[in-house]
Each structure stands twice: as structure tokens, then as C-alpha cells.
Amino acid sequence: MPRTFVVLAAIVTLSVLSHRPLLGQEGAPPAGGPGGRPHPMGGAHGPMPKPTNLKVLPKDTSPEDVIKVMKGYTQQLGAQCGLCHANNAATKHPDFPSDQKPEKNTARTMMLMTQEINAKYLSQIHDPDAAPDQKTVTCGTCHRGHSMPVTFKPPAKPATGPSGMHPKPKGNS
């Protein structure tokens, strides 16, 4: 299992445990009734179907783990499932295996990019002081709750003090 996935799954598991009602954000009617577990497949009944169209996540990822990863994406991108998943025109429910929305393939490229940043580059940085989440790039590192990353603009006011834009001329006081 790629390390990125394990890390994401761990982060996501924690957030799922502390934010249970989040499922309501999908706009799907809760299938389990009050207190019951809402079904992530848009209100369909029965067990979660096995994923059939995984191209980046390991093919044997359990349906539960896929959902944990997906909920992580919604949180890190401040988005809903529908950002990447198209609705089935007939049923009006999300068709999760479908690759119809270009955002889904963009997300696959992003998953590969994030894995490579961690595996190929961050793995070369030896910083014993950094906590595990500090030495790992996730979707949220760039996206910070937005589906399109917000362009960084330095604060308008120039910083004061020794690192400011206008250092004192040398030898004058």
C-alpha cells in the first residue's frame, strides 16, 4: 500500500470519527433513518459495492477505506462528492465508478503527484524535528479547503524589523 494512502487514511479516519454528521453534506437522503448510518452511495440499500474502477488506489481497497479517502478529499478541497463524480442521468444518484467528469481524472493526476512528492522528494529531507504530518504533503497542503488553490499573495504591508524590505544603511549609527 503506498505510504501516502496510509497517511491519508489515518488522517481521514481521525476526522471521520470526530465529524460523523458530515455525510449529510452530500445532499443524499439519510438511508439509515435517525441514528442509522447514512449510506454513502446516495441512499441505495444493501452493503457498499466493491469499487470497480480504481486506477490509482490499490484495486483491493475496501469500500469503507475508499469512502474514508473520499471524505478526506471533500474536507481538504472544501468540496462535495459532486466536484469529481457525475450523477447518473436516470437515477439522479452519483455514479461513482463513472469517469465522466474531467475533475475525477484531474484528481487521479493529483493523487499520483502527491504520492511522488512524498516518496521521491520529501523522503530525501532528513529533519528529525518535523512531525509526520509536517513532512508529508497532502491535498490540503496546497488546496487548504478550496477546490482551486488560492494564489498566495504576500501581505501588503512590508515587514518591519531586520528582515524588512528597507534594511538600515550600514555603519550610520
Q: Under the rule (CB under 6 A), what is the footprint of ligand HEC?
A: 26, 40, 51-57, 66-67, 70-71, 73-74, 77, 79, 81, 83-85, 96-97, 103-104, 106-108, 110-111, 114, 137, 139, 141-143, 147-149
Identity of the residue, 113 or 159, whose beta carbon is nearer to ligand HEC in the bound complex: 113
Identity of the residue, 9 or 26, whose beta carbon is nearer to ligand HEC in the bound complex: 26
Q: What is the Cα–Cα distance from 127 to 130, expressed in whole angstroms?
A: 6
Identity of the residue, 56 or 122, whose beta carbon is nearer to ligand HEC in the bound complex: 56
CB of 129 to ligand HEC, least distance (A): 22
- Is 85:96 a contact under the CB 8 Å cutoff? yes
Identity of the residue, 145 or 164, whose beta carbon is nearer to ligand HEC in the bound complex: 145
Q: What is the Cα–Cα distance from 51 to 35, expressed in whole angstroms?
A: 26
CA–chain centroid gap for 107, Å, is 9
CB of 168 to ligand HEC, least distance (A): 37
- Is 132:7 a contact under the CB 8 Å cutoff? yes
CA–chain centroid gap for 14, Å, is 14
CB of 126 to ligand HEC, least distance (A): 21
- Is 83:147 a contact under the CB 8 Å cutoff? yes
- Is 38:28 a contact under the CB 8 Å cutoff? yes
CB of 73 to ligand HEC, least distance (A): 4
